A and B are shown apart, each in its own frame.
Chain A
Amino acid sequence: MKKLLSLRNIIVSLAIIILIWQLLFTFSSYSSALFPSPKMALDAGIEMIKDGTLIENIKTSMYRFLTGYLTSVITAVILGLILGRLPKVFQYINPAVQLLRPISPTAWMPFIVLLFGIGDVPAIVIIFIAAFFPVLLSTVSAVGGIDPIYLKVSKNFGIKQPSLTWKVIFPAAFPQIANGIHLALGTAWIFLVAGEMVGAQSGLGYQIIDARNNIRADILLATILIIGIIGIILDGIIKLIEKQILKSWGGAQ
C-alpha cells in the first residue's frame, strides 16, 4: 500500500512538471527550436535510443562515474579509518582538508585537462574529488565517535590491529560512513556532467555540449531528463544496498 501510494505521488509529481512545461511551451513566444515541447524532447530521446548514441554515452559516463566514485570511496574510507584513529595527526591535516573542500571540483578542471588531456581521466578525477571529502570527513568523525566501550571490550579480549579495524572499528562506524557514501553519490553524479562538459568528447555531459553546438534543444532537454532519471536510479540502488547491510546490524539504528 505504501509503495502504491509513493508510486501515485511520483506520477502526480511528474505530471505537474510536464504540464507546466507544456503550458510554458504553448504560451511562450520562443521558437520551438530553442524551447521544445515535452513531446519533442521525448521524440529526441527515442531518436537517440534508436541510433544508439544514448546507450553509448550512458555506458561511457557510467564507466567514468563508477571508476571515479568507487576509487574515491575506497581511498577516503581507508584514509578516514587511519586518520580517525590518529586525532592528533588529523588536527594538522584537517585545516588543509577544510581549505580544499569548499573548492568546486570543476575549478580544478583546466589544470586537470592540462595534465591529463581530454578523455576519461578528467571526468574520473573530478568525480574522485567530488566524492572524496564528504566520505573522508564522515569516516573520520564516525571513527572518532564510536562508543568507547567497543574499544574497551576489544582491549579486554585481546583484539589487536589489523583485526581491531575490520572487526570492530569499521563495523561500529559503518552506519555513519554509509551516510557519507550515500551523500557523496549525489554530489559525484552532479559533477560527472560538469567534468564531461569540459574535459571529454563523449558521455552524457558531452552530449549536452554537442546538442548546444548543433542547436538541438530537444536533445538537450532529453539528456537533462535522462541525467536526472539515472541519478534517481543510482540513489535507489545505494539506498537498497545500505538497507541490506544495515539489516545485518540487527535492524534499525
Chain B
Amino acid sequence: MYIEVKDACKNFVQDGKEFTALDHVSLEIEKGEFICLLGPSGCGKSTLLNALAGFEKVNSGSIKIDGNEVKEPSINNITIFQNYGLLPWRNVQKNVELGLESKGIPKEKRGEIASKYIELVGLKGFEKRHPRQLSGGQQQRVAIARGLAVDPDIIFMDEPFGALDAITRMKLQEDILSISRKEKKTIIFVTHDIEEAVFLADRIVVMMADPGRIKSIVTVPLQAHRDRTSKDFLYVRDKVFELFNMKADAYIEYYI
C-alpha cells in the first residue's frame, strides 16, 4: 500500500482540557487516488492531513508513505493551504520558482518549468503580478502551480477553497479535478463541504468528532467527468448526507 496509517492517535491539551483529535485511526491509500477527508470541525481531518504531511507527529501508531515513516515535511509531498502561503514580496513567476530553487534547478530551466505550470493553472500573462494584486482564487492557483512545479508525488490540500466564493470554488474544483487526471498525482483533500467531496473524490473518508475518528469510507462510483446536477451525483451526495444524519426522518414528497 502506498500510504498507510495504522492506529494513529493524537491528543491535544487545549485550555487545560484534553482533546482527542485522532482516536485509533487507520487508513490505506493507493497511488493516484483522490481522497477527500470529510467531516465537521474538530473531527481531526486537518490533524490527520498535517500528520501525513509531516508537520505534526502522532502520539502513537504509525504513518508510512511508500514504506517510509513520515518524520518531517518533504518536497515530494506538497501541501496547499487555505490561506495560500504565497510570499507577497515575490511575483507570481518567482513564487512558482520557490521550490525549484531549493531543488537546485538552474535559472533558465526554472523559468521554463514555472511558465509551464502558470499556464496550466490559467494564469498566463500574470507572471509579473504580485499576490496582493490577485484575487483569492488566482492566488490559490499560484499556490497550486508552485506545488505542481516541484513535481511532487502527493498533494495535500487543507480546505484549499474554503476562503473563496461559491462560483470561484466550483471553477477551481473542476480545474483541480482535470489537473489531477492530467498530472496523475495522489491527492488528499480536506473539506467540510459534502458536495465538494462528492465532486472530487474517488473515495470519501467520512470522519466524526469527539473523539476524531473515521466513521466510514465511501467509494464514489462516478465517472471522471462529473455533473453536479445529475441523478447519480445527487444520489451519492444523499448517501453521504445520511452518514451525517442530516436527512429528515420522514420522507417528504413535494412537487415543483
The residues of A with any CB-CB pair to B shorter than 8 Å are 149-150, 152-153, 155-160, 163, 167-168, 171-172, 174, 248-251
The residues of B with any CB-CB pair to A shorter than 8 Å are 53, 55, 72-75, 77-79, 81, 83, 85, 87-89, 91, 98-99, 101-103, 129-133, 150
Given A157-B75, A157-B98, A251-B130, 7 other A-B contacts at CB below 8 A?
Answer: A152-B81, A153-B87, A155-B73, A157-B102, A159-B102, A171-B87, A249-B132
Contacts of A251 in B (CB 8 A): 130, 132-133
Among A155, A160, A171, A250, chain B packs the most CB atoms within 10 A around the CB of: A250
Cβ distance B123 to chain A, nearest Cβ, rounded Å: 15
Contacts of A152 in B (CB 8 A): 55, 73, 79, 81, 85
Main secondary structure of the interface of B (DSSP, over half): loop
Cβ distance A248 to chain B, nearest Cβ, rounded Å: 6
Contact pick for A157, options B53, B131, B133, B150, CB 8 Å:
B150
Main secondary structure of the interface of A (DSSP, over half): helix
Cβ distance A233 to chain B, nearest Cβ, rounded Å: 28
Cβ distance B215 to chain A, nearest Cβ, rounded Å: 29
Contacts of B75 in A (CB 8 A): 156-158
Contact pick for A250, options B53, B74, B131, CB 8 Å:
B131
Are A250 and B103 interface neighbours, CB within 8 A? no
Q: Considering the chains assembled together, what is the distance between the CA atoms of A249 and B131 in angstroms?
A: 9
Cβ distance A171 to chain B, nearest Cβ, rounded Å: 5
Cβ distance A181 to chain B, nearest Cβ, rounded Å: 17
Contacts of B78 in A (CB 8 A): 156-157
Are B102 and A160 interface neighbours, CB within 8 A? yes
Contacts of B88 in A (CB 8 A): 249-250
Contacts of A150 in B (CB 8 A): 85, 87
